Amino acid sequence: MLEELKRFEAEVDTALKGVKDPEGLEQLRLRFLGRKGRINEFFKRLGRLPVEERPKVGKILNQLKARIESTIASRRSELKEQEVPRIDLTLPGRMGWVGHPNPLSLVIDEIIDFFVGLGFTVEFGPEIETDWYNFEALNIPPYHPSREMFSSFYLGDELLLRSHTSPVQIRVMERKGVPIRFIAPGPVYRVDKFDATHSPFFYQIEGLYVDQEVSFAELKGDLEAFAKHIFGESVRVRFFPSYFPFTEPSAEMSISCPICQGKGCRVCGDSGWLEILGCGMVHPNVFKSVGIDPDRYQGYAFGLGAERIAMIKYIIGDIRLFYENDFRFLDQFR
């Protein structure tokens, strides 16, 4: 009978593997496990075996029965799954939206991170300023022609909207003294046109580094590294003499146009160069206005417009796009 059981087992396996639908499976179940099924048949025949063989064969028979039951159960669930209507899995998933940053934030963050890496901290100052902080402490006396460079919106006789971030230099030196090294990002306000290339409101990033031996060479070195960080290693920089009342010597930094690699294009006005920031060595009068001895300390300062950097970096032709916040614009930044 053991031989017969072995054959039966092989027959069962083949039959269960081959069954295609639940009905077929049910028929098989009845054939193998039903009251008049094959297993019961074997059990009936058990009594005819010699007494000493009965327990051994009985045990095998029981195991076989259990195995068939579990195989049928798992086949049943397999067949049930196949029964579910087919779904096109290439249909799109269910997802929310992800938002977008304003490109100014991307640029400001990148600039902050660069200078923090260089050992700078980050400071902030008020947007409403006094004449003293915005002008006089920065070596810009009343009725000085250079006031035209920073023409301001006034809230009162003495109060105005800061026309640059340089007042933060004064506030931080007053509060923390020297040596010091920080950048100060934030909005500034100028009486200016509002068109594709001008805005009465824009973001500036100020930098100040004061210590005993900071020279013009470090100014050049740090800002050159900055330009390469933002615009790529292949960018070249040039420094030209310029004028700001609070720095002397003063300079403007230009970069080779990263769009045309300096060959001349629409963005750089065919010159191959783009002015990106103003900088210089801190004027001794600025140190004097915060009570720092200009014979002991020297330093550099710079100021740059975040919009200008973003416009060059992302080839944005109209400054107004930053403040319109049109989704078709913002969608392109991540």
Partner 1 sequence: MRLSFEWLKELLPDLSLDQTLDLLPRLGFGVEEVIDVGIDRVISARIKKITPHPRREGLLVLELRADQDYRVVTGAKNLSPDDNVLLALPGALIKGREIGVEDFDGIKSEGMLLSEAELGIVDEAEGVIRLPPKVEPGQWFNDLFDTKIIDLEITPNRGDCESILGISRELAAVTRGNFSPPKLRPPRLKSGPRIGIEDPDDCPRYTGMVIEGVEVGDSPFPIKWRLFHHGIRPINSLVDITNYVMLLLGQPLHAFDLDRIRGGIRVRRARDGEEIVTLDRTRIGLNREHLIIADREGPVAIAGVIGGMKAEIDRSTRRILLESATFNPEVVRRATRGLLIDTQSGRRFERGCDFAMPPLAAEYAQRMIKGRPESFTDLKVPLRRKRVSFDPKRIGRYLGIPIKKREITTILSALNFRVREVNHRLVATVPSYRRDIDSECDIAEEVARIYGYDRIPSRLSRGAQVGTIPQELRMIRRLRSILIGLGFYECRCFTPISKDALETFGIGPGVVIKNPLNERFTHLRTSLAPSLVEVLSTNYRNGNLDVRIFTIGKVFQPDSPRPKEEDFLGLLVGGRTSPPHWSGDERRWDFFSLKGVLELIARHLTAEELQIADDPIPMFDHYSARIVLGGKKVGIIGQLAQRILTRFGIKEPYYFFEVDLGRFLLRMEEPIYIPYPRFPKVRRDLAFIVDESISAQDIIKAIRQLGGPLLAEVIIFDRYQGGGIPAGKVSLAFRLTFQPQERTLTDPEIKELTEKISSGIELRFRAKLRDKEVDVGRTQDFGGEDR
Q: Does 264 bind partner 1 (CB under 8 A)?
A: no
Give phi and psi for 124, each to the nearest 5.
-130, 160
Q: Measured between alpha carbons, how far is 154 from 156 in angstroms, rounded to an integer?
A: 6
By CB under 8 A, what part of segment 11-40 binds partner 1? Answer: none
Cα distances from 223 to residues 16, 187, 231, in angstroms, run: 78, 21, 12
248 belongs to an annotated ligand binding site: yes
The residue among 242 and 261 lying less far from partner 1, judged by its C-beta, is 242
Strands 247-256 and 201-211: unpaired
Q: Does 221 bind partner 1 (CB under 8 A)?
A: yes
Q: How far is the CB of 68 from partner 1 (least distance, A)?
A: 37
Q: How far is the CB of 260 from partner 1 (least distance, A)?
A: 19
Q: How far is the CB of 105 from partner 1 (least distance, A)?
A: 6
Q: Does 71 bind partner 1 (CB under 8 A)?
A: no
Q: Does 243 bind partner 1 (CB under 8 A)?
A: yes
Q: How far is the CB of 259 from partner 1 (least distance, A)?
A: 20
Q: Measured between alpha carbons, how far is 103 from 314 in angstroms, rounded to an integer?
A: 9
Q: For partner 1, which residue of 214, 274, 276, 279 counts as binding (CB under 8 A)?
A: 214
Q: Does 148 bind partner 1 (CB under 8 A)?
A: yes
Q: For partner 1, which residue of 177, 179, 232, 317 counts as binding (CB under 8 A)?
A: 179
Interface with partner 1 by CB under 8 A: which range of 24-32, 49-57, 70-78, 199-207? 199-207
By CB under 8 A, what part of segment 283-302 binds partner 1? Answer: 283-284, 298
Q: Does 308 bind partner 1 (CB under 8 A)?
A: no
Going residue by residue from 158 to 177, which x/- string records binding to partner 1, judged by CB under 8 A? -x-x----------------
CA pseudo-torsion sign 26, 29, 31, 35: negative
Cα distances from 13 to residues 1, 70, 77, in angstroms, run: 18, 12, 17
Total site size for partner 1, rule CB under 8 A = 88
Q: For partner 1, which residue of 187, 266, 318, 332 counts as binding (CB under 8 A)?
A: 187
DSSP state of 86: P
Q: For partner 1, which residue of 23, 196, 240, 266 counts as binding (CB under 8 A)?
A: 240
DSSP state of 53: T
Tokens of 16: 């269960």
Give phi and psi for 270, each to the nearest 5.
65, 5
Tokens of 98: 């992800």
The residue among 207 and 258 lying less far from partner 1, judged by its C-beta, is 207
For residues 260 and 315, the answer to whether their CB atoms sit within 8 Å is no
The residue among 72 and 107 lying less far from partner 1, judged by its C-beta, is 107
Q: How many CB atoms lie within 10 A of CB 80?
A: 10
Tokens of 61: 């028979």
Q: How far is the CB of 258 from partner 1 (least distance, A)?
A: 18
Q: How far is the CB of 329 from partner 1 (least distance, A)?
A: 10
Q: For partner 1, which residue of 50, 85, 241, 291 counts as binding (CB under 8 A)?
A: 241
For residues 289 and 190, the answer to whether their CB atoms sit within 8 Å is no
Q: Measured between alpha carbons, how far is 322 from 104 in angstroms, rounded to an integer?
A: 7
Q: Does 196 bind partner 1 (CB under 8 A)?
A: no
Q: Which residue has the tokens 């600039």?
A: 111
By CB under 8 A, what part of segment 77-136 binds partner 1? Answer: 91-92, 94-102, 104-105, 109, 112, 115-124, 126-128
Sequence-ordered strand ranges (E) for 190-334? 201-211, 237-244, 247-256, 273-282, 298-305
User: Residues marked as binding for Mg(2+)?
Assistant: 248
